[in-house]
Amino acid sequence: MRLRAKLIKVTAVFVLGALVTPMLIAAEPTASISATALNVESIERSERFYGAVLGLERVFQYPAEGDDVIEIGMVRSDQPSLMLILAHFNDDPLPEGKKTYGRIVINTDNADFIAAKAAERGATIRKLPSGGGATIIFFDDPDGYEIELYQATTPSD
């Protein structure tokens, strides 16, 4: 009887191992984008802009102590896992045409409200016509990085 119980246990371990091992080997690691980093002319100016327009708040700086801050991280309190990093490493001018390689896209439920806040801070607003009913608005931050606000259509009742 004991031999049979041991045989059942050993068989169960092998069967379980045969089932679990391929799942462990084939499993893909998870990955997600957690931050967007921008090289800015003035951390203070950009921090004020993104704080006022998007409601972002500083959650870290590097170095952690002192006045020679070269990088800060900002998040919204309701989205702490998505961060904007603002960096200023030296006083060299930012390269011409830097925004031609990308933009920051922000999903929102009120693009016009955010655009109005950006306009109050000097941004030129460019609203695109959308055949699908979505609201798409562009503006530049103080360093010329392009921001896209995207507001999906709401299903009608």
Q: Is residue 128 part of a domain?
A: yes
Range of the domain at 59: 35-151
CB 5 within 8 A of CB 13: no
Q: Is residue 18 part of a domain?
A: no
Give the list of residues 6+ apart from residue 54 with CB closer than 8 angstroms, or none.
76, 84, 106, 114
Q: Is residue 6 part of a domain?
A: no
Distances 6 to 1, 3, 16 between C-alpha atoms, Å = 9, 5, 15
CATH number at residue 54: 3.10.180.10
Joined tokens for residue 76 = 């919204």
Q: Is residue 23 part of a domain?
A: no
**pLDDT tens across the length of the chain (157 residues):** 565 555 455 454 454 455 555 555 556 655 556 688 888 889 999 999 999 999 999 998 988 888 889 999 999 999 888 899 998 888 877 667 655 556 788 888 889 999 999 999 999 999 987 767 888 899 999 988 888 888 888 766 3
Q: Is 0.95 topped by the overall pTM?
A: no
For position 6, what pLDDT does the model report? 52
Q: Is residue 157 part of a domain?
A: no
Number of domains in the chain: 1
